[in-house]
């Protein structure tokens, strides 16, 4: 006999029309983790001078963010990095290149995933920033778009952060 959590998971999956990528016992918390983030203020970004080719190193705040999702009915999923990263005590002003991105399909079935990214303007409630939009595409072994492919992703990039943030309505910081 199925437990109450297993019954609830089955009902939610029937309602959503897809498998929900979490264990039945996680449903009791009415929330589930979608990503994790870490930043370091003592990183560096290396650049090349256009004409001389000389390397230039600049101190930079680096952000490392990861998460899990699945491809949609068209074999794609578009994510905004600001939806997965937390910035308690920091005032995010945006993201810059270089953006290093990796995605890997999860599961026992053979699927491929590819990624692209772009910097797009986003309003976080205190003004517009350059957010990072990530597109993950799932492919079957014949190269056709594959829906419902579960995947993990990870992104490391340059984050522009200043002082203390304003108060965000509706955001809970632990």
Query: Per residue, what are the HEC states of the chain?
Result: CCCHHHHHHHHHHHHHCCCCCCCHHHHHHCCCCCEEEEEEEEEEEEEECCCCCCEEEEEEEEEEEEEEEECCCCCEEEEEHHHCCCCCCCEEEEEEEEEEEEEEECCCCCCEEEEEEEEEEEECCCCEEEEEEEEEEEECCCCCECCCCEEEEEEEEEEEEECCCCCCCCCCCC
Query: Is residue 24 domain-shared with residue 39, that is, in the same domain?
Result: no
In a domain, 105, yes or no: yes
**Domain count across the chain:** 2
Q: Is the pTM of this model over 0.85?
A: no
| One domain for residues 18 and 75 | no
Q: In terms of domains, do 51 and 115 share one?
A: yes
Measured distance CA(164)–CA(162) in Å, rounded: 7
Q: Give the number of other Cβ atoms within 10 Å of residue 152's Cβ.
A: 15
Q: What are the angstrom distances between the C-alpha of 138 and each of 11, 60, 65, 80, 84?
A: 26, 33, 20, 18, 20
The domain of 11 spans 1-32
Beta bridge partners of 97: none
148 and 66 co-located in one domain: yes
Identify whether residues 12 and 80 lie together within a single domain: no
Tell me: do 129 and 85 sit in the same domain: yes
In a domain, 86, yes or no: yes
Q: Is residue 167 part of a domain?
A: no
The answer to whether the CB of 149 falls within 8 A of the CB of 73 is: no
10 and 42 in a single domain? The answer is no
Q: Domain check: are 21 and 66 in the same one?
A: no
114 Cβ neighbours under 8 A, 6+ residues apart? 103, 136, 137, 139
- Does residue 2 fall inside a structural domain? yes
82 shares its domain with 119: yes
128 and 88 housed in the same domain: yes
Does residue 107 share a domain with residue 133?
yes
Whether 174 maps to a domain, the answer reads no
Q: Are residues 85 and 131 in the same domain?
A: yes
Q: Is residue 168 part of a domain?
A: no
- With respect to residue 131, please indicate whether it lies within any of the assigned structural domains: yes
Q: pLDDT tens string for the chain (174 positions)?
A: 456 767 877 787 788 787 666 666 666 666 667 788 888 888 899 999 989 999 999 998 898 999 989 899 999 999 998 888 877 666 778 889 999 999 999 988 999 999 999 999 988 777 778 889 999 999 999 999 999 999 999 999 998 877 654 444 455 444
């Amino acid at each position: 006999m199925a437990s109450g959590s297993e019954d609830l998971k089955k009902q939610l999956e029937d309602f959503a029309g897809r498998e929900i990528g979490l264990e039945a016992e996680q449903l009791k918390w009415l929330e589930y983790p979608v990503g994790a983030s870490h930043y370091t203020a003592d990183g560096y970004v290396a650049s090349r001078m256009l004409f001389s080719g000389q390397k230039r190193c600049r101190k930079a705040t680096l952000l490392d963010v990861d998460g899990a999702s699945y491809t949609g009915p068209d074999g794609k999923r578009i994510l905004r990095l600001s939806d997965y990263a937390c910035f308690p005590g920091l005032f995010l002003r945006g993201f810059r290149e270089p953006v290093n991105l990796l995605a890997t399909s999860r599961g026992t079935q053979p699927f491929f995933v590819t990624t692209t990214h772009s910097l797009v303007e986003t309003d976080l409630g205190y003004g517009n920033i350059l957010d990072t939009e990530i597109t993950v595409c799932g492919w079957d072994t014949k190269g056709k778009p594959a829906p419902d492919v579960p995947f993990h992703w990870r992104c490391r990039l340059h984050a522009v952060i200043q002082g203390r943030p304003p108060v965000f309505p509706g955001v809970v910081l632990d």
